[in-house]
Amino acid sequence: MEGQELPCVLIDCIGGKHGVYEDHAEFLKERFCLITMKEYLENKSFLGKKIRAIYMWYHKPVINEELLQSLPNLKIVASSGAGVDHLDLNLLSSYGVKVSNTPLTVSTDTADLGMALMLASSRRLVEGHQMAISPDTEYFPANWLGAEVSGATLGIVGMGTIGYKVAERAKAFEMKILYHNRKQRNKEEEHAVGATYCKKIDDLLQQADFVMLAVKLTPQTHKLIGKRELQLMKPTAILINISRGLVVDQDALVEALQNKVIKAAALDVTYPEPLPRDHPLLKLKDVLITPHIGSATVKTRHLMKENMTESIQAGLAGLPIPNEVLL
């Protein structure tokens, strides 16, 4: 684009806790004129008219009506990750702004993490590590046991791209796979992973040794797993959440774990993130929590950056947008 002015793209910041990675910023600067929120706020009247896209990393910058009103030439918001529950799609559409995300990019790593959480929780890896390195350990007890994964029943709630990749991995563990989804997969896809469709989520919950949540957060899935659903699960079952924290009623989960309604939980997502340091989930030994790292690998984060860049370039050129999010 030599000799041409680069299109202006709004970002939250570079570096820091939630900013665009510094090496990503160098890549982006070759293609766009990056404007940070700080720069924008210092010169709204001038920069507001120049900004044509928003590069949304870690759900930042926050997009509201006030911001949209000040960006008359905004064409597209490129959001990292698969979920778009942090965006008001109807509001953006009313301003003629298109939205893209990166669902396919994150699916492999998130499925891998789902399996890692299932294995770590069932085989009590964190407890085992603590025992192995404790200065107080004099022997390893012979009756210190975990739960088997191979041959067990896995119930996948949400059989989209991530859920299906989980099923592919679970098949290698010779697991019996059940799934619940808004729409049933075709017979060929079911046969490929040996999955059985449960039209009612209750049927899945009652049979599964492991319940893995891989749904999008929508009004329909908000607190999808509550007290009633937890009581349907086996007392030996483990709940795994790789979707969004608000898919689970956390108060109900705490109560279920305290009362041995279910055996354990492994969570990559909570609400809020991170949890308050005095939250009861942090005090339960049968809970494994990771810091929302489903897509957190070097390769995937680079692919996310490239996908978002392609979407912005296509949107500004009036071309079909890869991974456009439609209402």
% of the chain beyond a pLDDT of 70: 99
| Residues 186, 146 within the same domain | yes
C-alpha distance from residue 144 to each of 118, 124, 147, 209, 311 (Å)? 18, 9, 11, 20, 51
Residue 104, pLDDT score = 92
Average pLDDT over residues 150-156: 98
| Residues 150, 264 within the same domain | yes
pLDDT per residue as tens digits for the range 106-148: 999 999 999 999 999 999 999 999 999 999 999 999 999 999 9
Active site residues: 244, 273, 292
| Residues 110, 69 within the same domain | no
Inform me whether the pLDDT recorded for 213 exceeds 90: yes
Band (18; pLDDT cuts 50, 70, 90): confident
Number of independent structural domains in the chain: 2
Band (311; pLDDT cuts 50, 70, 90): very high
Inform me whether the pLDDT recorded for 1 exceeds 60: no
Domain holding 100, by residue range, is: 8-105+297-325
Q: Judge whether 91 lies within some domain.
A: yes
Q: How far apart are CA 162 and CA 166, in angstroms?
A: 6
Q: Judge whether 139 lies within some domain.
A: yes
Band (327; pLDDT cuts 50, 70, 90): confident
Q: Judge whether 2 lies within some domain.
A: no
Inform me whether the pLDDT recorded for 2 exceeds 70: no
pLDDT per residue as tens digits for the range 53-90: 999 999 999 999 999 999 999 999 999 999 999 999 99
| Residues 190, 274 within the same domain | yes
For residue 144, report the phi and psi dihedrals to the nearest 5 degrees: -85, 100
| Residues 55, 118 within the same domain | no
| Residues 165, 30 within the same domain | no
Band (3; pLDDT cuts 50, 70, 90): low
Q: How far apart are CA 244 and CA 248, in angstroms?
A: 8
- The sign one gets for the Cα dihedral 132, 138, 142, 144 is negative
C-alpha distance from residue 25 to each of 57, 63, 100, 150, 298 (Å)? 11, 20, 19, 44, 15
| CATH assignment of the domain containing 32 | 3.40.50.720
| Residues 315, 170 within the same domain | no
